[in-house]
């Protein structure tokens, strides 16, 4: 039989990976496919761009529809200690302080993409070190960085829900920059103590969705079990929850 009857190894094309749009779509409907593809390529630019667009859009909508002066007032109102400090100031001092808070809040909102990169870099470094040194995995930092971004794609819904709420039913007095969307119980209990509101705010449908995706993604790229991945990912998440609640209790 001639050799032409058998395809040579060179003529057999390797299966192509996912493109960036397919990766993003599969992160919602078939996340295992997205995370397995990260083993082929650790590209993360599209989810980052989508997050930047949604965060910047929310910052612009808040600027135009609410105003960062109102946002600053709300931030102060949510902190009894800050309200006490403001009440002890003269009218001129209070106006100057409120202007400063409003300006800082506005800058922070528009600079969110920079903070996003810094946060994800630190978060990915922690996960990378935990899996590689704690479980003996052989992941690269960029694989973990990509997992973090794709797993966080559901956060886009928080920004979109917040934008929708501002346009169709929200009010300047009710807008909470720290908890802008009604995806957790803390959103509906604005008058509870700051530490409890912080805790309820962490028990968020979108945040828990992201947490589950991170567990799955890290299990795949680190080639570890879901249980092993959950111990590390959920463990660090609990640390962040304790820090957030403790910070709210100490400084609010």
Which residues constitute the domain of residue 246?
A: 32-54+119-251
Burial class (CB in 10 A: 0-12, 13-18, 19+), 110: middle
Query: In Å, what is the CA distance from 228 to each residue of 41, 129, 130, 211?
Result: 24, 14, 11, 14
Residue 212 lies in a domain: yes
pLDDT for the residue numbered 158: 96
Residue with tokens 């808070």: 101
**What is the rounded distance in angstroms from the CA atom of residue 100 to the CA atom of residue 142?**
38
Residue with tokens 């990912």: 233
pLDDT for the residue numbered 1: 42
pLDDT for the residue numbered 174: 76
Token pair of 131 as six digits: 């899996």
Residue 75 lies in a domain: no
- Distance, C-alpha 40 to centroid of its chain: 24
The percent of the chain in helix, strand and coil, each rounded to the nearest 5, is 75, 0, 25
Plot region of 79 (φ>0 → left; ψ -120 to 50 → alpha; else → beta): beta
Cβ atoms within 10 Å, residue 29: 8
pLDDT for the residue numbered 9: 42
Residue 22 lies in a domain: no
Residue 20 lies in a domain: no
Query: pTM for the whole thing?
Result: 0.89
pLDDT averaged per 10 residues in sequence order, the chain, 252 residues: 43 70 97 97 96 96 92 83 82 86 92 93 98 97 98 96 87 82 91 90 96 98 98 97 91 77
Query: In Å, what is the CA distance from 160 to each residue of 61, 65, 165?
Result: 11, 15, 9
Residue 106 lies in a domain: no
Assess contact for 127 and 144: CB atoms under 8 A: yes
Assess contact for 149 and 48: CB atoms under 8 A: yes
pLDDT for the residue numbered 2: 42
**What is the rounded distance in angstroms from the CA atom of residue 112 to the CA atom of residue 76?**
20
Residue 96 lies in a domain: no
Residue 2 lies in a domain: no
pLDDT for the residue numbered 170: 66
Residue 38 lies in a domain: yes
Residue with tokens 């078939």: 30
The total domain count for the chain is 1
């Amino acid at each position: 039989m001639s050799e032409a009857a058998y395809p040579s190894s060179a003529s057999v094309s390797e299966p192509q990976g996912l493109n960036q749009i397919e990766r993003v779509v599969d992160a919602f409907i078939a996340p295992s496919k997205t995370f397995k593809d990260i083993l082929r390529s650790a590209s993360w630019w599209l989810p980052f761009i989508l997050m930047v667009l949604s965060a910047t859009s929310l910052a612009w909508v808040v600027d135009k529809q609410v105003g960062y002066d109102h946002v600053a007032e709300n931030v102060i109102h949510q902190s009894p200690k800050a309200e006490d400090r403001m009440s002890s100031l003269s009218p001129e001092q209070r106006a100057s302080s409120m202007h400063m808070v409003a300006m800082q809040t506005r800058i922070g909102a528009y600079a969110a993409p920079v903070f996003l990169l810094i946060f994800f870099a630190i978060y990915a470094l922690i996960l990378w070190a935990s899996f590689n040194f704690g479980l003996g995995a052989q992941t690269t930092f960029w694989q973990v960085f990509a997992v973090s971004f794709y797993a966080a794609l559901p956060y886009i819904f928080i920004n979109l829900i917040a934008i929708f709420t501002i346009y169709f039913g929200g009010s300047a007095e009710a807008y909470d920059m720290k908890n802008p969307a009604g995806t957790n119980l803390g959103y509906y209990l604005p008058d509870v103590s700051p530490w409890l509101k912080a805790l309820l705010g962490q028990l968020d449908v979108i945040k828990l969705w992201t947490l589950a995706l991170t567990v799955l993604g890290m299990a795949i790229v680190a080639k570890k079990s879901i249980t092993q991945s959950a111990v590390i990912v959920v463990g660090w998440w609990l640390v962040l929850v304790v820090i957030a609640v403790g910070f709210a209790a100490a400084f609010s």
